[in-house]
Amino acid sequence: MNTPENIERTSTGIDLENPSTRRAAQLTKALGHPVRLAILKLLCERDTCFCGDFTDVLPLAQSTVSQHLKVLKECGLITGTSQGVRTCYCLDPSGIQELHQNLVNLVDTFDTSNLSDCC
């Protein structure tokens, strides 16, 4: 597996252009806001939500909630489907699966058994 990319990557130990690193950063960034965590949590509990369901329980303007939904949608974590006047929001199974795997990898990376009190 010593393709040129791998050689270059392992030579520095760091490759900021690595797609999987970039994707991990994108996903964690999307999680990195209490409102978006709350939205995802509610979707985990309720399967299906309309935009109004979020605005009912969030102390934010409807336009702001819509913006957060857009962020989650654009990075593939949720879907939004028009149903009449309303939009039905759901977790996107493939995105959530990817997130899940990514988080598992991170948990693996930050394995607490490897920690040393160095200083």
Partner DNA sequence: TATAATTATCGTAATTATACGATGATTATA
Partner DNA sequence: TATAATCATCGTATAATTACGATAATTATA
Sheet holding 49-50, edge to edge: 49-50, 86-91, 78-83
Are 68 and 49 in contact by the 8 Å Cβ rule? The answer is no
Tell me how far, at minimum, the Cβ of 117 lies from a copy of itself, in Å. Answer: 6
- Applying CB under 8 A, among 42, 71, 73, 76 the residue interacting with a copy of itself is 42
d(CA 77, CA 119) in angstroms, rounded, equals 39
Using CA atoms, how far apart are residues 103 and 28, in angstroms rounded to an integer? Answer: 9
Which of 5, 6, 7, 33 is in the footprint of a copy of itself by CB under 8 A?
Answer: 33
By a kind-dependent CB cut-off of 5 to 8 A, residue 85 interacts, out of a copy of itself, DNA, none, with DNA
Report if residue 84 touches a copy of itself, rule: CB under 8 A. no
Q: Which of 5, 7, 21, 52 touches a copy of itself by CB under 8 A? A: 21
User: Which positions touch DNA (CB under 7 A)?
Assistant: 29, 32-33, 35, 50-52, 55, 59-64, 66-71, 80, 82, 84-87
Cα–Cα distance for residue pair 45/109, rounded to 1 Å:
28
